[in-house]
Amino acid sequence: MNVASNVETFFHRITDVYQHQKKFMNEHKEYEAINESDIRVLNTKELTLANDLSSLTKSFLQRANRCQIQKNKFDFEQQNYRKLLQKLKKDTSIIITRPDKGRGVVLMDKQDYVNKIHAILNDPSKFSSLSDDPTLARENSLKSLLRKLHDQGKITDQLYYVARPTGSSPGRLYGLPKVHKDGVPLRPVLSSIGTFNYGLGKALTQMLSDMIDNKNMVKDSSSFVKDLHALDDPLSTFKMVSFDIVNLYTNVPVDETINIILKELYENRPVPPLIEWNDLKKLLTFATTKSHFLFDGKIYDQIDGVS
């Protein structure tokens, strides 16, 4: 409304109609008579401009009114959505999460969710229940090792300060439902943010990143299609096979993987790291095997695999 008013005021001022009208009205009050010489007659160009500005103003007001109506409708719908979400949030019998693949929202029965996580944790070859919280002891042990390696000049200042833990807490385990599979199994995910070995994992990732060979990896489905079209032979001469591994991360052979990393660094590289084999092995072990977490009020330790 203010914009429309300003447009009309602007028109009055550039055509001098506003000042002329003001003068005319004052004189009209004094003399109560109208002289033909006081009447401003617009020429064709001014009339066209006035008509265009008037049409523009009306169009703007109509659109503004429609937008306001839509906004009110949208606000009403949003209020209903918020009320529904708040109601769902207060419902302690359900779990609200996201699917393992793709986007969306998944509502699960809480007891069913907890039972499925416990079914995963009941595998004694992968997890064990702990009676005490080992966070402080493991944090101090890692600090001691890092301080020793740093004092000996075997790790850089950057690695030391990134990996050194302070104020650590146990990890948090949760599950993402695989809605595309029968029975909707859960993929266990361990959130390690704030854990004693979280910084160490970040530091080792930076150190080992140049070991990763990306030539046999694809970024996304679009890159995969592009690579297929770039093949010299017709696609009909190839067969594409897809492998599905059940609980991939929890079945990763950690000890074997650590040995592969060490052999690559110390036997296949022309310049091995400054840090000794056994010391790096300790750091890798700290980062992968000593991972404890909380679920349903209990503390567990991951014996094998990663999450």
Mean pLDDT by 10 residues, the chain (307 residues): 52 55 59 57 76 84 83 78 84 90 89 94 90 94 94 90 93 92 89 92 84 72 83 80 74 85 87 86 88 92 77
160 assigned to some structural domain: yes
Helix residue ranges, H only, 2-43: 2-14, 17-31
Q: Are 170 and 294 in contact (CB under 8 A)?
A: yes
pTM for this model (two decimals): 0.64
Residues 86 and 118 in one domain: no
Residues 52 and 22 in one domain: yes
Hey, what are 112's tokens? 């069913």
Q: Are 142 and 200 in contact (CB under 8 A)?
A: yes
Number of domains in the chain: 2
Say if residue 210 is exposed, middle or buried (CB neighbours under 10 Å; 0-12, 13-18, 19+).
Answer: exposed
To which H or E segment does residue 194 belong?
Answer: none
* Final residue belonging to a domain, choices 90, 121, 139: 90
Residues 14 and 138 in one domain: no
Domain that holds residue 179: 109-213+240-302
Residues 158 and 193 in one domain: yes
Hey, what are 180's tokens? 């595309």
The DSSP-derived string for 58-122 is: HHHHHHHHHHHHHHHHHHHHHHHHHHHHHHHHH-TTEEEE--SSSS--EEEEHHHHHHHHHHHHT
Instruction: Give the C-alpha separation, 8 to 51, whole Å.
Output: 11
Residues 175 and 286 in one domain: yes
Residues 69 and 133 in one domain: no
222 assigned to some structural domain: no
- Confidence (pLDDT) at 282: 92
Residues 139 and 267 in one domain: yes
